[in-house]
Amino acid sequence: MHAPADFSKTGLGPLAAALEGRQVEGLFRRWVARVHGVHLDERVWWIQISREGDESASVVLRCSPRATAEQAAAVLGHWQPTNSLSLLVLNVMSVA
């Protein structure tokens, strides 16, 4: 069972907390996002997400500091999880 994450000490609390447990309107069905990790570098936030109940596939969001949870959820809605070993990074208000 996934326990709610506490991002209060990371400085990224609002965005990560807003994504944790959020309902995402996917291409084929609605799913719940689970945050597995958060990292801040000099310019962007990196947030690792998986679908609730399926941690075999995950994605990393590369977010502008101005990105909102709604924008991140919209990008996640286009993600099609796969069990492949490749790393997928989705941009949220970031230059590719």
How far is it, in rounded angstroms, from Cα 9 to Cα 39?
Answer: 12
**pLDDT value for 32:** 95
What the block records as the tokens of 30 is 């609605």
Buried b (16+ CB within 10 A) or exposed e, 35-59: beebeeeeebbebebbbeeeeeebb
pLDDT of residue 49: 92
Report how far apart, in Å, the C-alpha atoms of 63 and of each of 21, 40, 45, 84, 96 are: 18, 10, 5, 23, 11
> pLDDT tens-digit profile of 21-76?
999 998 888 999 999 989 888 888 899 999 898 877 789 999 998 899 999 999 99
